[in-house]
Amino acid sequence: MAKVRVESFTISLDGYGAGPGQDVDNPLGKGGEELHRWFIPTHTFQSVHGDAQTGTTGVDDEFAARGFDNIGAWILGRNMFGPVRGPWPDDSWKGWWGDNPPYHVPIFVLTHYARAPLAMEGDNTFYFITGGIHDALNQARAAAGERDVRIGGGPETIRQYLRAGLIDELHIAVSPVLLGSGERLFDDVDMRDLGYKCVEHAATENATHYVLRR
């Protein structure tokens, strides 16, 4: 049965999944890139960004690769798509990733403001969903068919799906850095009460990986 999954979502030791002050120069907020020291060097990351000949292997790469396995659609919060706030001034912003984003499946972006679908290279089409998390998930499931739906973030988007009881499994990587401020992942979310248990964990030099499942 197809699942709804969070994969390779990294938080700091003090619980932040994004740094403060996101803007064009700081896509993950100030200090946010430090969270992903485990992920960026991996062969998986390098491959999805166009360089299949480089990158590290090992435990970090194994977790990164699992995050793309059997994924048929993604859901992103609007902040994961870009720094634009409020009504779209125009359609010029096309994401952080260049002409060929790393998803290669339909992507559903949660927003309060309508925008026409955006088709890009590599079978990437972004759909901008104004009907809320359930509408986005229904459309993502339809697009994914028998494959899984990946909730990409950010923290508030994941929290909404957690509170609604819609996420089956989460892979959380804890990075050994302190951000000090930003957006926490688990604020006002009781994971134990929601029925999650840690079913797998592994430590590397740059992260400790946890798999949580209901």
Tens digit of pLDDT for each residue in 118-162? 999 999 999 999 999 999 999 999 999 999 999 998 999 999 999
- All domains of the chain, ordered by start, with CATH? 15-84+99-185 (3.40.430.10)
Taking only the tens place, the pLDDT of each residue in 8-25 is 999 999 999 999 888 888
Distance of CA 136 to the CA centre of its chain: 15
* 36-93 tens-digit pLDDT: 999 999 999 999 888 778 899 999 999 999 999 999 999 999 999 999 899 999 999 9
Q: How confident is the model at residue 28 (pLDDT cuts 50, 70, 90)?
A: confident
Query: Which is nearest to 106 in space by CA: 149, 48, 167, 63?
Result: 149
* Assigned token pair, 181: 């401020």
Secondary structure of the chain as H, E, C letters: CCCEEEEEEEECCCCEEECCCCECCECCCCCHHHHHCCCCCEHHHHHHCCCCCCCECCHHHHHHHHCCCCEEEEEEEHHHHCCCCCCCCCCCCCCCCCCCCCCCCEEEEECCCCCCCEEECCCEEEEEECCCHHHHHHHHHHHHCCCEEEEEECHHHHHHHHHCCCCCEEEEEECCCCCCCCEECCCCCCCCCCCCEEEEEEECCCCEEEEEEC
Looking at residue 117, what is its pLDDT? Answer: 98
Count CA atoms within 13 Å of residue 125 on its CB side: 12
pTM: 0.95
